[in-house]
Amino acid sequence: MICKYYKPINDYGAIGNLRTVALIGKDGSIDWCCFPVIDNPSIFGAILDIRQGGRFQVSVPDAGIGFQYYVKDTNILKTQFKIGRSELTVTDFMPLWGNINKCGGSYAPPEIHRVLECHGDDMEIEVEWSPKFDYARVPTIIKEIDDVWTATDGNNKLSLCNINNAKVVNGKNGPSLYSSFQMKDGEKRAVITRWNSKNMDGDIDTSNELMERTASTWKKWVHKEPSINAHEWAAEWFPFLIRSKLALKMMIHDDTGAVMAAPTTSLPEAIGEVLNCDYRYTWVRDASMVGQALISTGHVKEAVDLFRWVEKVSKEHFEKGEGIKIMYGLHGEIELEEKTLDHLEGYKRSKPIHIGNGAVNQVQHGIYGELLNTAYELVRRDIKLEPEMMNFLSRVADRACEVWKEKDSGIWEERKNLRHYTYSKVMMWVALDRAIHLSRNYNFPGDTDKWKKSRSEIREAVLKYGYDKELGSFVRSFGQKELDAANLRIPLLEFLPFDDERIQGTINNTLKYLTENQLVYRYFKKEGPHSREGTFALCTFWLVDTLALSGRIDEARDIFENIINHTNHVGLLSEMIDAETGELLGNFPQAFSHIGMINSMVYLAYAEGKPVPVAPVGTSKHREKMDSRRDF
Cα distance between residue 598 and residue 298, in whole Å: 12
Does CATH number 2.60.40.1510 belong to domain 9-215? no
* Distances in whole angstroms, Cα of residue 503 to Cα of each of 441, 478, 491, 496: 29, 17, 7, 7
Domain assignments of the chain as residue spans, ordered by start: 9-215, 239-627
pLDDT of residue 629: 45
Do strands 141-145 and 148-152 pair parallel, antiparallel, or not at all (unpaired)? antiparallel
* Cα Dmax for the chain: 79
Element (H or E) spanning 205, and its range?
Answer: helix 204-222
pLDDT of residue 202: 80
User: How would you write 257-324 as a 3-class SS string?
Assistant: CCECCCCCECCCCCCCCCCCCECCCEEHHHHHHHHHHHHHCCCHHHHHHHHHHHHHHHHHHHHCCCCC
Q: Which residues contact 606 (CB under 8 A, 6 or more apart)?
A: 233, 548, 549, 612, 615, 616, 619
Q: For 120-132, how does the pLDDT look when each residue is reduced to its tens digit (9 = 90+)?
A: 999 999 999 999 9
523 DSSP 8-state letter: B
Q: For 538-581, how does the pLDDT look when each residue is reduced to its tens digit (9 = 90+)?
A: 999 999 999 999 999 999 999 999 999 999 999 999 999 999 99
Q: For 144-199, how does the pLDDT look when each residue is reduced to its tens digit (9 = 90+)?
A: 988 899 999 999 999 999 998 899 999 999 999 999 999 999 999 999 999 988 77
pLDDT of residue 625: 53
Cα distance between residue 142 and residue 149, in whole Å: 7
pLDDT of residue 632: 33
pLDDT-derived band at 287 (thresholds 50, 70, 90) equals confident
516-545 average pLDDT score = 83
pLDDT of residue 164: 84
Is residue 196 helix, strand or coil?
A: coil
Cα distance between residue 390 and residue 377, in whole Å: 14
pLDDT-derived band at 253 (thresholds 50, 70, 90) equals very high
Decide if pLDDT at 463 tops 70: yes
Cα distance between residue 320 and residue 427, in whole Å: 24
Strands (E), 71-195: 77-83, 86-93, 97-98, 106-107, 111-119, 123-129, 141-145, 148-152, 157-161, 166-171, 174-183, 188-195
Q: Is the distance from CB of 302 to CB of 105 less than 8 angstroms?
A: no
Class of domain 239-627: mainly alpha
Cα distance between residue 30 and residue 44, in whole Å: 7
The residue length of the chain stands at: 632
Q: Half-sphere exposure of 446 toward its Cβ, with a 13 Å CA cutoff?
A: 34
Judged by average pLDDT, the poorest of 111-115, 327-331, 616-620 is 616-620
Cα distance between residue 166 and residue 431, in whole Å: 61
Q: For 38-78, how does the pLDDT look when each residue is reduced to its tens digit (9 = 90+)?
A: 999 999 999 999 999 999 999 999 888 999 999 999 999 99
User: Which of 509, 507, 578, 513 has the alpha carbon at shortest distance from 543?
Assistant: 507
Q: Half-sphere exposure of 99 toward its Cβ, with a 13 Å CA cutoff?
A: 8
The pTM of the whole model exceeds 0.85: yes
